[in-house]
Amino acid sequence: MLSQVVELIESKHRFLITGHARPDGDSTGSSLALYWGLRALHKDVVVVMRDPIPPAYQELPGAGEVQVRPAIDEPYDAAFVIECSDLDRPGLPGLEKQFIVNIDHHTTTALFGHINWIDATAAAVGEMIYNLCKALGININQPIAECVYAALLSDTGSFHYANTTERTFKIASELVRRGARPAHVARALYESHSFGKIKLLGSVLSTLQRDESGRVAWVTMTREMMEAAEATEDDLEGIVNHPLSIRDVEAAVFFKEIHPGQFRISLRSKGNVDVSKIAERFGGGGHKYASGCTVIGTQDSVANRVLSSLQSELGTTSRAAD
């Protein structure tokens, strides 16, 4: 819990921060905000990720100082593991030897830390880091403000998901007062796409299908589409929101053929169905509104299995495409 984290930070000096593999806006913004908070306390701190920070978040203060490493081989007083469902999610062997502080806002998170601070009421882990800075008496400076703002903007879908509350706007307001630049962050996150991403979006959207009920819609990306658009994995973020944006659609799926016969799947819901249940059935996780998993098989068999599972959860049965 929060008081344990505060006590640990006050009594120790040398810290590691990491987030999940393939960092997103919340894991990146939260990790960097904590980095700036610990720096303000003159701690010795490093952010280590398995994967590079995607271009959208590279303009965040401190992004250039993130170290990309395949493993952790030195001892730290403690390792903060941000937004991870289990200790394998960072993809960093050696982490298990550290004193682990697990910080997350997902209820499906395993309690893998020596300290576990889980707050399912937080819109983003960024909000928890903001609360932690306050509890530590840290002045919210410009870098902290901008990193927390990016985490909030990203995890609330630009303040339009159901996790957006009065408290979110109160915090966002203070962050702007402390120097976060909304237009700058929005441009980096939403108006700095690669040419390949928009080309890829075109071919992926041409696969759009929905079931007979009209409540489930899905799109598929093959290896060939990705190669033709010269797109990267970073370019896939956000595409699943397009099928979800259709009227009457309650849940959307994006099937991504990452390797031949291996599909990484993104599931999204408007709230009537908890898509973490479906992802968990296939060995993945996430939360009610957004979840993911990886499934092996042919395109048809993978689609059949995942869509059937989703439809039984929604109480619809047919899979006829249109």
* Residues binding ligand 5GP (CB under 6 A): 85, 266, 284-286, 290-294
Nearest residue to Mn ion, scored by beta-carbon proximity: 26
Q: Does 127 bind Mn ion (CB under 5 A)?
A: no
Which one of 47, 72, 81, 155 is in contact with Mn ion (CB under 5 A)?
Answer: 155
Query: CA neighbours within 13 Å on the CB side: how many for 125?
Result: 29
Compute CA distances 239 → 203, 204, 211, whole Å. 11, 8, 19
Q: Does 83 bind Mn ion (CB under 5 A)?
A: yes
Q: Which is nearer to Mn ion, 102 or 316 (CB)?
A: 102
Kindly tell me which of 9 and 236 has the beta carbon lying closer to ligand 5GP: 236
Among Mn ion, ligand 5GP, none, partner that 27 touches (CB below 5 to 8 angstroms by kind): Mn ion
Q: One-letter amino acid identity for 264? A: R
Of 5, 9, 22, 27, which lies in the binding site for Mn ion, with binding defined by CB under 5 A? 27
- Cβ closest to Mn ion, residue 47 vs residue 229: 47
Nearer to ligand 5GP, 180 or 236 (CB): 236
Minimum distance, C-beta of residue 294 to ligand 5GP, in the bound complex (Å): 6
The reply to whether 26 sits near Mn ion by the rule CB under 5 A is yes
CB closer to ligand 5GP out of 243 and 292: 292
CA distances from 92 to 20, 69, 163, 227 (A): 9, 8, 30, 28
Residue number, 76 or 89, with CB nearest to ligand 5GP: 89
CB contact burial 173-199 (16+ within 10 A = b; e otherwise) = ebbeebebeeeebeebbeeebeebbeb
Q: Is 257 near Mn ion (CB under 5 A)? A: no
Task: Give the C-alpha separation, 28 to 62, whole Å.
Answer: 10
In the complex, least distance from residue 178 CB atom to ligand 5GP, rounded to whole angstroms: 27
Q: Which of 9, 18, 22, 24 binds Mn ion (CB under 5 A)?
A: 24
- Least distance (Å) between residue 293 CB and Mn ion: 14
How far apart CA 135 and CA 120 sit, in angstroms, is 18
Nearest distance from residue 118's CB to ligand 5GP, in Å? 14
Number of chain residues interacting with Mn ion (CB under 5 A): 6
Spatial separation of the C-alpha atoms in residues 66 and 52, rounded to whole Å? 8
Give 274's contacts (C-beta < 8 A, 6+ positions apart): 288, 313
Percent helix, strand and coil across the chain, each rounded to 5? 40, 20, 40
Residue 155's binding partner, choosing from ligand 5GP, Mn ion, none, with beta-carbon cut-off 5 to 8 A by kind?
Mn ion
DSSP 301: H
How far is it, in rounded angstroms, from Cα 120 to Cα 90? 20
- Residues of this chain that interact with Mn ion (CB under 5 A) are 24, 26-27, 83, 124, 155
